[in-house]
Structure 1
Amino acid sequence: MATQAATPERRRRHRASGRQHHSPLGLVLPAVLAVTVGIWAASIQRFENGGVATGGQWVLGVVTAVVIGVLAFGLGRIQHALPRELRALAYGVLTAVTIGFLTSLAEGSVLRAAGIGVAVGAAVGLVMFYYYYTHE
């Protein structure tokens, strides 16, 4: 009885020009994350001020969205150059900073914001490390 031989996995090589192709998902995910965090930050400030929208809240939301978007986009561009431990750590740190900042906006103490940020960031870092370890 004939059996089919397993063929080795073939990977596409980048062209010699060094130009790298970026998928649309690499732009969409940081943008969605940025908009979500920006709206979240602005709404936290709005609810803290009695529900009245002000220009400062909009500025905070836009600046937060731009900063988180740039950091997430940059991490997405360099993640393949990092070993899996540093890649998981980078995603954990980005999550910890984001959650800690949002917690501090909700009039939480510095220790509370840092504690929640570190706890969530550590959990995300461990999950990402497990994912990269099992899929590489």
Structure 2
Amino acid sequence: MAHAAPVTAAVTTRGTRTRTRPPDIFGPRAHRIGRWALPFAIGLVYGYWAAANRRSGGPITGWNLAFGFITAIVFTLVTVGVLLLGPRLPRELHALLWFAYIGIAFGFLYIQSGETVLLATGLSLGLGVIAGLICFYWVYTHEDAEGHHI
């Protein structure tokens, strides 16, 4: 027996343009939970990674666990802040925010492994510039001339 394909909803944007949107399979409650659960899960991975880099393969201690959990909490809060603040900024500041966020996050992880500050700074700047350019391009191609999301 054949089943019909799901219908996509038409969304009217400013002006006369319309675009199609795939059907939303999750409800509003699932989206609210996901807005906090995904950054929290990423924060736990980040905290574990930072703690593992800091102990350099040595034994797991209480201070190492505390460092990992504190890092996870701070990273989660900063991630939520970036996700909430970013879309409200103009495209240049939005890209600059992601440049700083990704560069600092990578630099913090890299410096925990015991490498030099100069090498960590250079790699962080390089990765941050790439992320900032990608973010600027994405935001630039998803906004109209007045800065409204398409």
Shorter-chain TM-score range: 0.7 to 0.9
Match of 2:54, SS state, is helix
Deviation at 1:8, TM superposition (A): 4.1
Task: Kindly provide the amino acid, as one letter, of the partner of residue 36 in structure 1.
Answer: V
1:57 matched to which residue of 2?
64
1: CA distance between counterparts of 2:97 and 2:54? 28
Task: Kindly provide the amino acid, as one letter, of the partner of residue 67 in structure 2.
Answer: L
Residue deviations 1:57-110 (CA, integer Å, cap 9, x gap) = 111111111111111111112222101111111111111111101111110111
- Higher fraction of helix: 1
Checking the alignment, whether the CA contact within 8 Å between 1:84 and 1:133 is kept in structure 2 is yes
Over aligned residue pairs, what C-alpha RMSD do you find? 2.2
Higher relative contact order structure (alpha carbons within 8 Å, sequence separation ≥ 6): 1
Work out the percentage of aligned pairs sharing the same amino acid.
35
- Higher fraction of strand: 2
How many residues align? The count is 119
Q: TM-score, normalised by structure 1?
A: 0.78
Which of residues 26, 38, 54 is equivalent to 2:47? 38
1:9 matched to which residue of 2?
13
Q: TM-score, normalised by structure 2?
A: 0.71
What 5-or-longer segments of structure 1 have no aligned partner?
1-6, 11-20
Checking the alignment, whether the CA contact within 8 Å between 1:26 and 1:76 is kept in structure 2 is no
1:108 matched to which residue of 2?
115
2:134 matched to which residue of 1?
127
Task: Kindly provide the amino acid, as one letter, of the partner of residue 117 in structure 2.
Answer: V
What 5-or-longer segments of structure 2 have no aligned partner?
1-10, 15-28, 144-150
Which of residues 83, 100, 103 is equivalent to 1:93? 100
User: Judging changes above 3 Å, is the alpha-carbon distance between structure 1 residues 59 and 94 closer, same or farther for their aligned structure 2 residues?
Assistant: same
